Structure 1
Amino acid sequence: MSTRLSLSRDYPHGVPAFAAALADPEFHRVKLDVDGSGCIEVLAFERRDDRVRVVLRQPVPPGQVPSVVERLLSGVLVIERTEEWRLTPRRCDGRARVAVPGTPIGADGTMSVAPAGDGHSRLAVDLAITAAIPLLGGGIERSVVTGIRGLTGSEHERISRWLEHAERAG
């Protein structure tokens, strides 16, 4: 069983600006650095033609880990996130896979950046979160979804700042 998380955000920047950002490994690191600690690691970054693959390691700051998940851990919660994107000026489509090493918790899903009218774009994410733990899995999945929703506001702000800076610089 899994729990779905679907969300979207609109940005006052076109798809080409988003495609340029997604082609930059530093963008991926910055967008996830929600607490400003600089602890996000880009483990791998590959770009071939219109394809991008990035692997990131992200420690989750204390206090942002759901208590039901915290009990499963022997230390700091670390998320390993792999994103694979196909980038075009008209639309960007991707897949995301998330693993929490040392736990049976993960996620898999799709992402897209599409036109949203008037030169704007919409980032949409659809994930299936899975916690393969008998009896507790559903509650853990719901806690993870709540945690992700809480982090998306900060991620949205970081993406917006990146795109605004790139627009002014370009």
Structure 2
Amino acid sequence: MSTRLALSRAYPYGVPAFAAALADPEFHRVKLDVDGSGRIDVVAFDRRRPTDGAPERVRVVLRQPVPPGQVPAVVERLLSGVLVIERTEEWTLTPTRCDGRARVAVPGTPISAEGTMRVVGEDAGSRLSVDLDITAAVPLLGGGIERAVVTGIRGLTGHEHDRISRWLDGAERAG
């Protein structure tokens, strides 16, 4: 069993601005650094720019410690130390659309997530949509853990939205 999380957010920036950001490893680090600690690590980054007109592809692997106090109590009981999230994103980038897949693992726990991400154009900019299935393979407690994780993610998305907006705003001013 898993718990679905679907989020969507509009931005006043076009898809080309998002595609350029997603092709930059620093963007991925900055967007997740919600507590400003600088502890997000880009473990791997691969950018493929085909010359034959095919879409650009990006793969990024990030390691993210969860800030103290932001780990749901039901999850904290499963831990023997600091909660670390390993996140892999694979993106296909074009000027009109960005499509991604995400896989999330929480080493040392039975918690994982996977799903899709998409950036599409809208009248006044673009929309980022995320659709994840969160799984906690714990008999009897899994559903409660999944709901706690969803609540935690929802709490962090506002900070992530602010960091994405600041990045895109800075890129627009520089461009």
TM-score scaled by structure 2?
A: 0.96
In structure 1, what is the equivalent of residue 4 of structure 2? 4
SS of 2:131 mapped into structure 1: strand
CA offsets, 1:22-73, max 9 Å, x none?
A: 0000000000000000000000000012000000000001100000000000
Quote the offset at 1:117 in angstroms: 1.0
Q: Taking every aligned residue pair, what percent have the same amino acid on both sides? A: 83
Which amino acid in structure 2 is aligned with residue 20 of structure 1?
A
2:156 is matched by which residue type in structure 1? L
Aligned to 2:91: 85
1:71 aligned residue: 77
| C-alpha displacement of 1:109 | 0.1
Distance 1:165 1:62 in 2: 29
The alignment status of 1:52 with 2:74, answered yes or no, reads no
Whole-Å Cα distance in 1 between the matches of residues 20 and 68 of structure 2? 32
Give the TM-score normalised by structure 1: 0.99
Q: Residues 114-133 of structure 1 correspond to what in structure 2 (within 5 A)?
A: 114-118=120-124, 120-133=125-138
**2:170 corresponding residue in structure 1:** 165
2:39 counterpart letter in structure 1: C
In 1: Cα distance, 2:152 partner to 2:71 partner: 7
Question: Displacement, 1:137?
Answer: 0.2
Q: After the TM superposition, which residues 101-120 of structure 1 pair with which residues of structure 2 at under 5 Å, given as runs?
A: 101-118=107-124, 120=125
Post-superposition offset of 1:116: 1.4
Equivalent position amino acid for 1:112 in 2: R
1:150 has 2:155 as partner: yes
**Aligned-partner Cα distance in 2 for 1:86–1:26:** 18
Inter-partner Cα distance in structure 1 for 2:62 and 2:10: 24
Match of 2:141 among 117, 136, 139: 136
The list of structure 1 runs, each at least 4 consecutive aligned residues, that deviate by more than 2 angstroms after superposition, is none
Q: Which runs of 5+ in 2 are unaligned?
A: 50-55
SS at match of 1:74: coil
Separation (CA, whole Å) in 2 of partners of 1:164 and 1:110 = 25
Secondary structure, counterpart of 2:69 in structure 1: coil
